[in-house]
Amino acid sequence: MSTGPVDPTTTPAWASLSAHQAATTPDLAGWFAADPERAEQLSFTAADLFVDLSKNLVTPETVGLLLQLAEQTGVLARRDAMFAGEHINVTEDRAVLHTALRRPPGASSALVVDGQDVDADVQAELTKVFAFADAVRSGQWVGVTGKRITHVVNIGIGGSDLGPVMAYEALKPYAQAGLECRFVSNIDPTDVAETTKDLDPETTLFIVASKTFGTLETLTNARLARAWLWAGLSAAGVLADDDEARKDAVAKHFVAVSTALEKVAAFGIDPANAFGFWDWVGGRYSVDSAIGTSLAVAIGPDAFREFLAGFHAVDEHFRTTDPARNVPLLMGLLNVWNVNFLGAHTHAVLPYSQYLHRFAAYLQQLTMESNGKSVRYDGEPVTTDTGEVFWGEPGTNGQHAFYQLIHQGTRVIPADFIAFATPTHPLVDGEADVHALFMANFFAQTKALAFGKSAEEVRAEGTAEDVVPARVFSGNRPTTSILAPSLTPSVLGQLIALYEHITFVEGAVWGIDSFDQWGVELGKKLALEIAPALTGDTAALEAQDPSTGSLIRYYLEHRAN
């Protein structure tokens, strides 16, 4: 990729899309009535995912113009550069190769990037992770007093937390009984305290997950956990009061995942108990690397392999499918349409699956850390809006909370509905199949959002005239429906890869670097500068701006003890 970004707003396709938007009044009911093939023509499959785009505010002409925009902004060339390992993360001068993490073993042609045999390295590390997972699962790995591990606590934050916890929650039915994973991320000491309060140090294993092994929150929590381990073992009378014994306890109760293995050793974790990955894996793209070790322990190597195969199936779909049927490409372009032409500021992701209750939180980092940028990768300012706010909660809970605004508010809120045909728990309520009832809600919501309810329909129900306006639903509220047979490890991998590539497509159109995250640095630096002001350094306190200084003084005056 030697060429710079194309300003999307200067392309002929952009001008055509602007004119098309101005000339088109959204009319989903009319469009469906006029074209009986619409649902079929705008529904696609990617691996096991069935994706219906037909309830979006697009016509075939819109889709054609969006595909032209992709062509004119070089999205597919950039995609190919990513898969080939070119340094498309320009500001950090790195390859972006999370797709290499899920290439199947024994791929027909080797992937060599920057002189590194990527496939061989990935498989070698996976072998180590799987051996560790098997050892914990079988009881071969025991704590310092010889007891079997019952609890694994992943300590990490951002990409070193959100992916593992989301996937663990999603795949709980696949987890080994008697082995529970927990997750500590926040530097609020409450997190470590609450997570460990009912655990037995003799049967608890910590995984310290940090790409850089320099993250304040993670290292602080790791030290708190280590102190908790030593204190608990001492209180139980099973830890001798000497450094060798403490070191031995750490060796049996701490492993690490990082790209900075020398820092792991400095923390006191035996490098033999550390799993690595590479700088070409972004934190928010790392759940399928060794960062997923907690998940591998929970669900086991076979299921983890299925998880990776799911990612790979969608990678291959994105890499090889014709643009007109390429689901991540189409969904990414639709997001551009919604943001830049329909004025959407946010995007809801609404899984009809309780197991996906952390999916939106996970997607927030993936999408917003990737595309929350106002300069392009050549350093020039962007010329149009970028990264929308992603948010969401599982249905049906959201229906009784925020759906009101999606149905009748003044803003365009595109929403992705995700559900699975086969329930994990096929429960019945008397005669009623509860999953069917759940799914009826999914279908009802997307239907109501698309087609609404007219004043005539409201009046026909005998509604008093003065209340009619409040009970009208405008319809024409865009949704995408994503269905899969069931929530398996493979399907979860497919869903994650789908959103990774959607995020990529949006960033590629906008000409931004979706793989750096400089926006998180300033706050980290200032926190370290401010910390002394909270512990008696008056010069540091005086150096603050008036607002920050007054907030710190309030804190100091009101802090008990």
By beta-carbon proximity to ligand F6P, the closer residue of 66 and 290 is: 290
Closest distance between ligand F6P and the C-beta of residue 521, in Å?
8
Site string for ligand F6P, 485-514 (x = CB under 6 A): ------------------------------
Closest distance between ligand F6P and the C-beta of residue 263, in Å?
10
Q: Which of 59, 196, 210, 446 binds ligand F6P (CB under 6 A)?
A: 210
Closest distance between ligand F6P and the C-beta of residue 517, in Å?
5
> Which contacts qualify for 534-538: CB closer than 8 Å, 24 or more apart?
none
Q: Tell me the C-alpha to C-alpha distance, in Å, between residue 256 and each of 132, 136, 197, 274, 297.
A: 12, 15, 22, 5, 14
Closest distance between ligand F6P and the C-beta of residue 376, in Å?
20
Question: Applying CB under 6 A, does 215 fall inside the site for ligand F6P?
Answer: yes
- Count Cα atoms within 13 angstroms, Cβ side, for 460: 5
By beta-carbon proximity to ligand F6P, the closer residue of 143 and 282 is: 282
Task: Please say whether the beta carbons of 315 and 497 come within 8 A.
Answer: yes
Q: Tell me the C-alpha to C-alpha distance, in Å, between residue 437 and each of 170, 400, 407, 514.
A: 21, 16, 21, 39
By beta-carbon proximity to ligand F6P, the closer residue of 300 and 387 is: 387
Strand-pair category, 346-352 with 204-209: unpaired
Q: Which of 62, 89, 160, 446 binds ligand F6P (CB under 6 A)?
A: 160
Contacts of 531 (CB under 8 A, 6+ apart): none
C-alpha 229/C-alpha 234 separation (Å) is 8
CA 238 to the chain's CA centroid = 41
Binding part of the chain for ligand F6P, among 138-146, 174-182, 205-213, 313-321 by CB under 6 A, reads: 205-213
Q: Which of 24, 91, 212, 463 binds ligand F6P (CB under 6 A)?
A: 212
C-alpha 191/C-alpha 195 separation (Å) is 6
> Which 223-242 positions form the footprint of ligand F6P (CB under 6 A)?
none
Question: Applying CB under 6 A, does 157 fall inside the site for ligand F6P?
Answer: yes
Beta strands per DSSP E along 204-264 = 204-209, 254-258
Establish whether 369 is a catalytic residue.
Answer: yes
C-alpha 201/C-alpha 149 separation (Å) is 10
By beta-carbon proximity to ligand F6P, the closer residue of 268 and 323 is: 268
Task: Please say whether the beta carbons of 274 and 255 come within 8 A.
Answer: yes
Q: Which of 8, 143, 158, 232 binds ligand F6P (CB under 6 A)?
A: 158
Q: Which of 159, 232, 328, 351 binds ligand F6P (CB under 6 A)?
A: 159
Q: Which of 98, 102, 211, 252 binds ligand F6P (CB under 6 A)?
A: 211
By beta-carbon proximity to ligand F6P, the closer residue of 361 and 468 is: 361
By beta-carbon proximity to ligand F6P, the closer residue of 34 and 216 is: 216
Q: Tell me the C-alpha to C-alpha distance, in Å, between residue 243 and each of 143, 144, 250, 256.
A: 17, 14, 11, 20
- Whose tokens are 């990082």? That residue is 258
Closest distance between ligand F6P and the C-beta of residue 382, in Å?
21
By beta-carbon proximity to ligand F6P, the closer residue of 518 and 554 is: 518
Site string for ligand F6P, 511-530 (x = CB under 6 A): ------x--x----------
By beta-carbon proximity to ligand F6P, the closer residue of 159 and 511 is: 159
By beta-carbon proximity to ligand F6P, the closer residue of 257 and 329 is: 257
Catalytic one of 194, 380, 524, 529: 524
CA 329 to the chain's CA centroid = 18
> Which 342-401 positions form the footprint of ligand F6P (CB under 6 A)?
369
Catalytic one of 197, 244, 262, 400: 400
Helical residues (DSSP H) of 112-171, grouped into ranges = 118-138, 162-170
C-alpha 507/C-alpha 527 separation (Å) is 30
Closest distance between ligand F6P and the C-beta of residue 290, in Å?
11
Binding part of the chain for ligand F6P, among 209-217, 262-270, 419-427, 436-444 by CB under 6 A, reads: 209-217
Beta-ladder partners of 117: 112
Task: Please say whether the beta carbons of 77 and 341 come within 8 A.
Answer: no
- Whose tokens are 């060599």? That residue is 112
What three-state secondary structure class fits 258? strand
What three-state secondary structure class fits 117? strand
Q: Which of 85, 506, 458 is nearest to 337 (CA)?
A: 506
DSSP state of 337: I
Binding part of the chain for ligand F6P, among 15-23, 38-46, 107-115, 212-220 by CB under 6 A, reads: 212-220
Closest distance between ligand F6P and the C-beta of residue 374, in Å?
18
Catalytic one of 125, 369, 500, 506: 369
CA 284 to the chain's CA centroid = 7
- CA torsion 546-550-553-558 (nearest 10°) is -170
By beta-carbon proximity to ligand F6P, the closer residue of 169 and 369 is: 369
Helical residues (DSSP H) of 58-170, grouped into ranges = 60-72, 75-84, 118-138, 162-170
DSSP state of 176: P
Binding part of the chain for ligand F6P, among 157-165, 167-175, 396-404, 528-536 by CB under 6 A, reads: 157-165
With CB under 6 A, what is the number of residues at the site for ligand F6P?
A: 14
> Which 268-327 positions form the footprint of ligand F6P (CB under 6 A)?
283-284
By beta-carbon proximity to ligand F6P, the closer residue of 518 and 555 is: 518
Question: Applying CB under 6 A, does 102 fall inside the site for ligand F6P?
Answer: no
Closest distance between ligand F6P and the C-beta of residue 492, in Å?
19
Binding part of the chain for ligand F6P, among 153-161, 166-174, 309-317, 545-553 by CB under 6 A, reads: 153-161
Closest distance between ligand F6P and the C-beta of residue 524, in Å?
7
Establish whether 87 is a catalytic residue.
Answer: no
Establish whether 425 is a catalytic residue.
Answer: no
C-alpha 222/C-alpha 208 separation (Å) is 7
Angle value at C-alpha 348, between 344 and 353, nearest 5 degrees: 165
Where b means 16+ CB within 10 Å and e means fewer, 403-437 reads beebbeeeebbbbbbbbbeebbeeeeeeeeeebee
Q: Which residues are catalytic?
A: 369, 400, 524
- Where on the chain is the footprint of ligand F6P (CB under 6 A)? 157-160, 210-212, 215, 218, 283-284, 369, 517, 520
